[in-house]
Structure 1
Amino acid sequence: MATQVHGTVAAGWEPVREEFAAFAAAAEHSPEAQLAVHHGGRRVVDLWAGEDTGPDTLTGVYSITKGAAHLVVALLVQDGRLDLERPVSAYWPEFTGHGKERLTVRQLVAHRSGLVNTEEGFDYDEIADDALIAARLAAARPYWEPGTAYGYHAFVIGALTGELVRRVTGRSLQEVYEERIRAPYGLDLYLGLPRELEGRWKPVLEMRATPEQLAAAAGGGAALPELLPVAFNAHREPPMDLVAFANHPRVRELGPASAGGIGTARGVAGMYAAAIGAADGRPALLEPGTAAEWARLHTPGEDRVTPQSDHFGLGFEQQPAVGPRAFGHSGAAGGLGWADPATGIAYGYVRRRFAFPGGAAPENERLTAAVLSAAAARTGGPAGAE
């Protein structure tokens, strides 16, 4: 039975619904997914599909959370509270040893610290606690000389930058996010799920790979970087299970800023819309210069942790399929959020069914292309035009 698609699209955005419906119908297992798109500050796409997923269903969004965390840090830099060129240790004196004292804030945010984990890793209760992670990493030996290379700090970057936020504001990153971003805009994207919303939460579901996908994965290909299991907390015994992480009650409660957010596609798209454009009488969260700096490539070359290259701006992932000014972040279950100041588009896609093999699910490419094409048709210009 084909998965039904629900929701609405504005006039001219029907091709996005068609693409979403085509993917949902072709999927062997229901993706339990939501898609929301804003254009020029107006929500133009609001779709969902699945047997047990509605428009308000909250679920774990994994590293889409990093977008919220990086917005908080960007705001503090924009305010002059944090200086990208100062050493991290100027704000956090305990962050020293093994070359860490020379690492700048810019390098930290760009995944250059080398502190992708500790040798022993973290259990589920520990990896939910950003303050604990930060304290242990401040005393840890990096996996490479800080500042000399970069690699995805998958489950710790929000703890590291969050400690900077705490040192300059006296508040946790989660508290600053709530006060400056989530609450003012009424966003359904939480770093720490309120207990009264637990009834709307539904768990991330196990991935279901086809036999062909499993055979292709078993067939080899390029060797994965040695630090990949370390960064994903799979080097400990027992290895951390990604689905169990997102569904863990302590993760939902504390909202670790690297990957512990709970939200909807509406929340993700709304956050990125607020980042780049006026909404509800408020100016854009990011000034144009700030948005441009955080979107600019900061990590040329190969990632030491993932098999990717030219990966990050300042914390945010590059979005080459969208345009040079776009910035955003994917999530392990297959979701993706991004903003593009050039087109005024904000995109949020959330999956409950973990997509094989993890990371931004392949359908994002087709959905993104449909979104950009619809926007171009509405404005009369090419997709991604300045």
Structure 2
Amino acid sequence: MTEAFEVPEVSEVPEVSEVFGAGVQGTVADGFEAVREEFAAVLAEGITTSGAQLVAYLNGRHVVDLWAGDGMAGDSLTGVFSVSKGAAHLVVALLVQDGVLELDREVAHYWPEFAAEGKGRITLRQLLAHSAGVIGVEGGFSSAELADDRVLAERLAGQRPFWEPGTAYGYHALVTAALTGEVVRRVTGLSIQELFEERIRAPYGLDLHLGLPEALESRYLDVLPMQPTPEQRAELEANAPDPKSLVAIAFNSHAEPPTDLLDFINTRAVRELGQASAGGVGNARGVAAMYAAAINEVDGRAPLLTPAMIAEFARLHTVGADVVTGEAEHFGLGFQALRLRYPFLGADAFGHSGAAGAQAFADPGSGIAYGYVRRRFAFPGGAAPENERLAAAVVRAAAGV
């Protein structure tokens, strides 16, 4: 654990929201006014005019709750893409903590069919660290298959790895939680979605769903496409992946037709099934509150994870470059290790970003839990660049700087 910051006393976020510059609405606790100003500055620069939300907790207390943009409210819901992986793998961490799962046990011990095609020695730890090499299937998945984790798991069980397991790592972008979720189902008899609902979402009343109820569809805002500049468009076209590349396989763009992430999340079937790698729906309140509950006492409940479990899941498990995305050293177990991306966070900060630009994390040393969700895709994809500014503002405010 990193040493906690010395922080000033702050009041709870008031219930009545106000309207500030750049159309920013919401509230901040005393001492966090600079976070609101930074959020307004981001909006004023036109970085996102289609809706964004920013929420933070400090030591289990709700200290930032802001939103802005056309049609966006504090409780609006939208697709959070790979932020879903954090929710799914918080379930896995709880099961490891309970002694139900063992990180260094072979996956085939729990799921015998997975041993096919030379996968018998792959461990749960390797699945969680994206080093198993089972990033997709030859020929790709149909859109109906991609929506359903059970179908994904069945097809992946028969797939040979795309590299020798354990010798490299690469982002299992659309399938990692189908793989770990099948392990969970074989051991508990429940899906990862059911356990998330039972153990995490419902007890805390989180606005984060692995399976969005029909009754909440009226609050869902479609994710919107990127609006690149001509220069950015040229860069995207120049870097379009070869259909035979690992990145194409991992993102199912080698399928016919290739997967379009907007169509994927804006499809009711995906939201209903709650595909646990990328099909979650939520808002900044929901994702920040989940990470607050993971590391701090919230609403009189003890933290979900022990310090030892946080240390194990948050520590860096990947060395060198990701063979799918090229990103360097960025995975713990199921979560992204965030210190390299955000040097102002502690070494045990953990969380996950989402394709449209969302970022969510916990920083145990400072007691911060952070959630940022935006409706329109950011260039070039993944955690939006403004997260560095916004997260740094939260950290400075928490430290009283």
Both proteins in one fold, TM over 0.5: yes
Which of 171, 188, 206 is matched with 2:207 structurally? 188
Cα distance in structure 1, aligned partners of 2:191 and 2:242: 38
Structure 1 residue 215: deviation in Å?
Answer: 3.9
Cα distance in structure 1, aligned partners of 2:218 and 2:319: 44
Question: Which letter maps to 2:59?
Answer: G
Cα distance in structure 1, aligned partners of 2:238 and 2:30: 45
Q: Is 1:97 matched with 2:97?
A: no
Structure 1 residue 206: deviation in Å?
Answer: 1.0
Q: Deviations over 1:148-199 (max 9, x none)?
A: 2111000000100000110111000000000000000000000000111111
TM-score by length of 2: 0.91
Q: Is 1:257 matched with 2:276?
A: yes
The DSSP-based 3-state class of the residue aligned with 1:36 is strand
Alignment CA distance shift 1:28-1:10 (3 Å): closer
Cα distance in structure 1, aligned partners of 2:141 and 2:325: 20
| 311-320 or 259-268, larger mean C-alpha shift | 311-320
Q: Deviations over 1:83-103 (max 9, x none)?
A: 111100000011113331001
Alignment CA distance shift 1:18-1:286 (3 Å): same
The DSSP-based 3-state class of the residue aligned with 2:380 is coil
Which of 90, 97, 102 is matched with 1:71 structurally? 90
Question: Which letter maps to 1:240?
Answer: T
The DSSP-based 3-state class of the residue aligned with 1:7 is strand
Question: Which letter maps to 2:284?
Answer: A
Question: Which letter maps to 1:372?
Answer: V
What residue is the counterpart of 2:327 in the other structure?
A: 308
Q: Is 1:347 matched with 2:366?
A: no
Structure 1 residue 217: deviation in Å?
Answer: 4.2
Structure 1 residue 28: deviation in Å?
Answer: 5.7
Paired residues of 1:99 and 1:146 also in contact (CA < 8 A): no
What residue is the counterpart of 1:384 in the other structure?
A: none
Cα distance in structure 2, aligned partners of 1:306 and 1:278: 36
Question: Which letter maps to 1:349?
Answer: Y
| 88-97 or 206-215, larger mean C-alpha shift | 206-215
Question: Which letter maps to 1:346?
Answer: A
Question: Which letter maps to 1:374?
Answer: A
Q: Is 1:232 matched with 2:251?
A: yes
Cα distance in structure 2, aligned partners of 1:295 and 1:181: 19
Paired residues of 2:24 and 2:66 also in contact (CA < 8 A): yes
Q: How many residues align?
A: 377
Question: Which letter maps to 1:104?
Answer: T
Paired residues of 2:242 and 2:248 also in contact (CA < 8 A): no
Instruction: Specify every segment of 5 or more residues in structure 1 that has no aligned partner in the other structure, as ranges.
Output: 379-386
Alignment CA distance shift 1:221-1:258 (3 Å): closer
Identity %: 62
The DSSP-based 3-state class of the residue aligned with 1:97 is helix
Cα RMSD over matched residues? 1.8
Alignment CA distance shift 1:104-1:225 (3 Å): same
Paired residues of 1:225 and 1:305 also in contact (CA < 8 A): no
Question: Which letter maps to 1:49?
Answer: A
Which of 293, 302, 326 is matched with 1:274 structurally? 293
Structure 1 residue 223: deviation in Å?
Answer: 9.9
Cα distance in structure 1, aligned partners of 2:387 and 2:129: 24
Cα distance in structure 2, aligned partners of 1:28 and 1:77: 40
Which of 192, 198, 201 is matched with 1:173 structurally? 192
Runs of 4+ in 1 over 3 A off after TM superposition: 215-225
Structure 1 residue 220: deviation in Å?
Answer: 6.1
TM-score by length of 1: 0.95
Alignment CA distance shift 1:138-1:222 (3 Å): closer
The DSSP-based 3-state class of the residue aligned with 2:323 is coil
Paired residues of 1:99 and 1:145 also in contact (CA < 8 A): no
What residue is the counterpart of 1:242 in the other structure?
A: 261
Q: Is 1:364 matched with 2:387?
A: yes
Question: Which letter maps to 2:118?
Answer: G
